[in-house]
A and B are shown apart, each in its own frame.
Chain A
C-alpha cells in the first residue's frame, strides 16, 4: 500500500483531549467528530486539512484517554496516516483496531517539515520525503498488527476467530 499526501506537523505529547476535546464526546458520529479534529492543538485544523493529508508528530502521540473517538475523528477527517516518534499505548491499539494506518519513525518525525510531500510505502516500512528527496525507515509493524491489518480491523478478525471456533 502506498500512502501519498502533504503533511501537517505537531509536537510532542499531543493528547486525546487535543485530538478530540471531551466537550464533543456527547456523540460518536464520525463526521461530527471530524469537524473538531485537533481543535485544541490547532483551532483551524479541520478547515485547513484536506482529505488525503498526513499528520506527522513528535513523541507520545495520543496520550491520555482511551477514547476511540480520537483515531476515528482523524480517519473521518480524511487524514490518511499518522507518523510519530512514538505513540501512547491505547491510541496505538485503537488505531490498528479501527484501521487508521500509523507509523513510528524517529527520523521521519524529526526531519519532515510541515507541508513536505510524503509517500509512505506501508508494506516495506519506508517513508519518502518527496519535497526533500529523502527517505526514512519506519519501525517494523509487529506480526500480530499485520494480521489485524490484513483482516481489516479487530471486528473482522474477531468474526473470523469466532467462525473458526464454531
Chain B
C-alpha cells in the first residue's frame, strides 16, 4: 500500500484498502474558516446533533476576510465566535492569535504525521508535507464530520513524482510545484494523491515541502504527500500536540503514473494568467511590467519565505511604479520576522507589512487590483479576477523572484541584482 492508503485504512479500521474503494473514516482534525464555517454551522444545526463529536478536534480559524473587512464579513466572523463559545471549541483562533490556517496549524503542532485531516478549504492538502493525509472538502462535509467524527472518502489513485539532480540557485519548492503543474496541467492529478519523493525532496526543508503539498489542488489533486523522514521529525519535535505516527509507502505500492524531474533543468518559474499551469521560465518574462507584488499566503507566507524576500530586497527600494505588500502568515512568523529585523528591511524598502490574513490572495481585501493592473504574487491561484477586477492579471512566483521584481518594476530574477 501507499502511505495514503495506509493512513486511510488505519482511520477506517481496516487492514487494507484499495484504490477506488469507498470508505468511511475517522478524522483527527476538522477545520473551517470565516467563509466556509458559516455554512457548516448552519448545516450542523440542521443535522440536529446534541454536541460536536470532539471539541478539541475542530479548528475554526477566521483568516480570509480578517481583520473584519466590512460589516458582512464581521457578521460571518461573529457566527464562528458564537458557535465556538456555545460548543466550547478548543481551537478557535481570534484576531491577534490567529494566522493563515494552513501555516498556523502545522506551526502550532496541531496537525501531526499520520493524521487524517479534512478542512473546508481547498488548500487543506498542505499537511501532506508532514506525512498526513489531508484534503479539502465542502462546508456540508465539515458539518457532517463535526457531528459524527467521520467522513466518506474514495481511496484515491496515487501518482508518484520523483525529483533528482541539483537545484538551481534561488529555485525552491514553489518552482518545483509550478513546474510540475505546468507539466501535468490543472487537472493532471484529478482525484489523485500526489506523492513527492527523490533526493531533492529528502533535502527540501519543511517550508518548501509545505509549499509543494499546498498546491497539489492546483493540479486537481485530492492530496499531496511526502513520506515523513528526519526533516519531518525535526520539525514536529517539541511542536506536536498529539502523538504521531510515521507511515511509509511499500516498495510494491501501486502508482497509476510515475514522473521524474531532473531539477537541474527546472528554472525559476512563473505561472502566467489565468491558470497555475500556464508556466514559463521567469527569464522569458522580463518585459512584463507589474503594479503590485504580494508576498504571503498559505503557500509562501512562512518565516523562511520572508527571509528569502528580505535577502533580495535588503538595502534596495521598491520600484516607484510598484506597491509591495508583505503578509506574514501567522503572529509567530510576524514576531520572529521583527526579531530578525526582516520587517525593518521591508519597511526601509518602502513595502507595507500587514497583519496575517489571506486578504488579497482571493481578492478579499488588503491589496485589490484595479482594472488593467498586474500583480506578481507568491500566492497559489491566478484565475480571472482572483485578486480584484476581472480585467486585472496575476502572475505567480517564489518569494525571491517576487522581491527582485518589486525592485525592478517588472518580472525579474535575483541574479539581475547581482545576487
Contacts and interface: CB of A to CB of B under 8 A. Distances in A.
A88 B185 CA distance: 13
Given A22-B364, A162-B49, A155 B220 contact: no
Contacts of B370: none
A28 B48 CA distance: 20
Nearest to B362: A22
A89 B186 contact: no
B60 to A, nearest CB: 15
B122 interface: yes
A35 to B, nearest CB: 14
B366 to A, nearest CB: 13
Interface string A52-84: 000000011001111111001000000000000
A93 B187 contact: no
Which range holds the interface residue count of chain A? 35 or more
Contacts of A132: none
B13 to A, nearest CB: 15
Given A26-B70, A68-B139, A90-B136, A159 B48 contact: yes
Interface string B382-402: 011110101000000000000
A86 interface: yes
A97 B76 contact: no
A155 B143 contact: yes
Contact of B362 (A27, A65, A86): A65
Contacts of A86: 187, 190
What class of interface size applies to chain B in its complex with A? 35 or more
Contact of B137 (A18, A40, A66): A66
Contacts of B72: 26-27
A125 interface: no
Interface of B: 22, 35-36, 38-39, 42-43, 46-49, 64-65, 69-70, 72-73, 76, 119-122, 124, 136-141, 143-144, 147-148, 152, 154, 186-187, 190-191, 217, 220, 222, 275, 362-364, 381, 383-386, 388, 390
Interface of A: 13, 15, 17-18, 21-23, 25-28, 39-41, 43, 59-60, 63-69, 72, 86, 88-90, 93-94, 97-98, 142, 144, 153-155, 157-159, 161-162
